[in-house]
Amino acid sequence: MTLTTDATTTDTAAPSGPVRLPAGGTLARPVDPSAPASAAAKIFNHPRNAWYVAAWDHEVTGKSPLARTIAGTPIALWRNSEGRPVALADTCWHRLAPLSQGKILGDEIQCPYHGLRYNATGRCSGMPAQETINPSAMVPSFPVVERYRYVWVWVGDPDLADPDTVPDMHQMDSPEWAGDGETIHADCNYQLILDNLMDLTHEEFVHSSSIGQEELSESEFEVTHDDTRVTVSRWMHNIDAPPFWLKNMRDKFPGFEGKVDRWQIIHFEAPGTICIDVGVAKAGTGAPEGDRSQGVNGFVMNTITPETDRTSHYFWAFMRNYCLDSQTITTQLRNGVHGVFGEDEDMLRAQQRAIDANPGHEFYSLNIDAGGMWVRKILDRMLQAEGRPSSAAPAGQGA
Amino acid sequence: MAALTQTRWQRGRVAEVEEVAEGVRRIVLEPEHPVPAAPGTHVDVDLGTEHRTRTRSYSVVRSEDGGARLTLSVQLARQSRGGSRHMHTLRAGDEIAMTEPVQSFPLSVGASRYVLVAGGIGVTALVAMASALRRRGADYQVVLVGRSRRVMAYAEDLVAEHGDRVRLHVDDEGTPLDVAALVAEVAEHAGARHTELYMCGPIGLMDAIRGAWTGHLLPEPNLRFETFGSSGTFAAEEFVVRIPQFGREIAVGPETTMLDALEDAGLDVMSDCRKGECGLCLVKVLDVDGQVDHRDVFLSRDQKERSAHLCLCVSRAVAGADANAKARTRSNGNAPAAVTVLLP
Ligand code: FES
């Protein structure tokens, strides 16, 4: 797209007039609402026909319902008497009161307002002050799968909800891995988090005190993809371990000194799961060729669930395959990653604010964005299949 | 499962009209604002005049091109409230007022077994469900009940699509449905507690199934049905409704409802669903000359037997099965049946 002041092109500041350039605006690309949906949409839409993590397994109980908005849909999450998780639309059929503020009564949930009851399929099973139940009374019930310590829900067409398509996060409950994580409520569009995780060059600048080092932006990376997955691999040979990794090496190899080979292999699986195979091994001991025995290996497990167009639930965990029975290390790693991700959280919030404050500007891409751009392309195709645009904002609102 | 209850009106164009069984017309509508119609949805069409709305609900048999083409099927019914006659006058190119697909009969996900029972034109509500179940690879059965093959729309198509999952019960072939046996079969099946039965058809058939269902103590929420309040135990006939508090006596023709007749007469009455589900139009019955054909699903069987109340939107008065005996005791000889009500 070329910079133009043609009167047929509009931006938000002047919906029917010529483009108004921001100060020094020769660098700004005007937004053309008639242009085809672009993979560089700033407020990215989310597919609905997909599994999203709604909660950690322990958050969903048979005691009281959990309210959470998943992909724009308010949901009441609870467990029935068999312990199976249930996801119902969080609004009563009758007068739309939130069911999540109601009570769980065995296999039913009761609306807090007039006491209507619903079973796990969303069918009304009790109405006040009448001898029959209105056959139309029901709330949407969403397919649910409990897997990898998470409760996943599907808010799209239930006929397409195939449990076999839950993204692979097997390290979360494998006996060969140990670790723990947290949830970040991120004040940004989910795609900004995916962009962040698909390009770890930012570590050098955002996380300079822990995992950042200048070799990150100096080393080459390789991108591969298929219809639902993207992989970005990067190896740094014979370097000094940054503080975070030096500590981990010393947990496994007490007193370790010397150079390491470091790897970051980012595995994306649509729509929002990114598992990053990370680690370092003593330099020249064969890690790039597959022998990681002289190193430490972690998996940063990330799965991002859009909440609204501008907020996200970011579930993460750090899993490791050494010193499995040490709670001290589990806690230290969780706290360490918590600190690192706090830096990302601040940056993402600031980025979202700047995006919203500059509706006339578009995204440009760098070579380092290749991984993120493949993610956007895959998501764009999923959205196209649902007949929805890739941009969540209506034209003229900073699409 | 989506349970959309929002009703948005729009224009729709009639694209095709075709006779698919005796007295049954397939009507393809092209709505102004297409949205895909999920199995179980219906559209409301407005068959009223400029001054009065007269909505009727018809199941979406088929949704194509993301809802750009919606197929309904309408049986010209003797018991019609006037809707089917109007629908049968439609020709390709006509325009009508219609809603987006409305969902009040959604097909659930995850039941271990599904039984679909269609009586007569009720099949229209179940055709799309059966296809969805086939695509999902679900365990399901389709039971079709009708007077005669000539009038059973979609029977052949369903057999072609679902093979021996379809069971046909045809009165004039001497193979009527044994409701007790059907429900007993459901109850004896290993997955009985997680079997859902979806039914759409004449109220007599649905009442019989409901009776057997509760008799076997099967879970009530697993019995799903849709009724547009258009079928009764008796054929619709003209009757009179008396409202002594206003000194009014209003005739209700076979093609209209008490609710419509009262509204037309300028009386202030309350209603919402207009299909016998919500109970908002409930009034007290003071006297009946003949009997009440309730037709609603709001009152329980006991309440209907007591007949202390009725739903204005669907209930009717009829001379009844023992019309001759009644005629003798009725104060007004051969005059139509009458019901006296107290409005709130
Ligand atoms: S208006 Fe709902 S039952 Fe009559």
pLDDT digits (tens, 9 = 90+) for A252-263: 999 999 999 999
Of residues A271 and B111, the one with the higher pLDDT is A271
Contact A159/B132, CB-based, under 8 Å? yes
Contact B297/A143, CB-based, under 8 Å? no
Distance from the A120 Cα atom to the nearest Cα atom in chain B, whole angstroms: 10
CATH ID of A171-384, from 3.40.50.1390, 3.40.50.12280, 3.40.50.180, 3.90.380.10:
3.90.380.10
Question: CB contact, 8 Å: A122 with chain B?
Answer: yes
Contact B278/A158, CB-based, under 8 Å? no
Contact residues, A window 371-390, toward B, CB-based 8 Å cutoff: 387
**A309 CB-contact burial (10 Å; exposed 0-12 / middle 13-18 / buried 19+):** middle
| Mean of pLDDT values over A366-381 | 93
Question: CB contact, 8 Å: A132 with chain B?
Answer: yes
Shortest CA distance from B194: residue in chain A: A121
Residues of B near A (Cβ–Cβ under 8 Å) read 1-3, 5, 38, 66, 104-106, 108-111, 132, 135-136, 220-222, 224-227, 273, 277-279, 297-300, 302-303
Fold: same for A51-155 and A171-384: no
Question: CA B128 to CA B126: how far, in whole Å?
Answer: 6
Q: Which pLDDT value is given to residue A345?
A: 93
Mutate to test the pocket of ligand 1, among B228, B258, B269, B275 (most ligand atoms within 8 A of CB): B275
Instruction: Find the B276 Cα to ligand 1 centroid distance in Å.
Output: 4
Domain edges within chain A = 51-155, 171-384
Say yes or no: CB of residue B311 within 6 Å of ligand 1: yes
Q: Which pLDDT value is given to residue A185?
A: 96
Taking each helix axis from N to C terminus, what angle separates A327-357 and A190-198, rounded to the nearest 10 degrees? 120
Q: How far apart are the first and last CA of chain B?
A: 37
- Contacts (Cβ under 8 Å, ≥6 apart) of A76: A65, A66, A67, A87, A88, A89, A90, A98, A99, A100, A102, A109
Contact A131/B303, CB-based, under 8 Å? yes
Instruction: Find the A139 Cα to ligand 1 centroid distance in Å.
Output: 20
Q: Which pLDDT value is given to residue A207?
A: 75
pLDDT level of residue A12 (50, 70, 90 thresholds): very low
Nearest atom within ligand 1 for CA of residue B296: 3
CATH fold, domain A51-155, is Rieske Iron-sulfur Protein (2.102.10)
pLDDT per residue as tens digits for the range B199-243: 998 888 988 999 999 999 998 889 999 877 667 888 889 999 999
Domains defined for chain B, CATH in brackets: 2-103 (2.40.30.10), 113-225 (3.40.50.80), 239-342 (3.10.20.30)
Q: Which pLDDT value is given to residue B127?
A: 96
Of residues A3 and B236, the one with the higher pLDDT is B236
Report whether pLDDT(B333) > 70.
no
pLDDT level of residue A396 (50, 70, 90 thresholds): very low
Mutation site, B109, B112, B273, B282, interface A, largest A CB count within 10 A:
B109
Report whether pLDDT(B106) > 50.
yes
Mutation site, B1, B197, B199, interface A, largest A CB count within 10 A:
B1
pLDDT per residue as tens digits for the range A73-83: 999 999 999 99
Q: Which pLDDT value is given to residue A181?
A: 96
Report whether pLDDT(A208) > 90.
no
Q: Which pLDDT value is given to residue A192?
A: 95
Of residues A368 and B224, the one with the higher pLDDT is B224
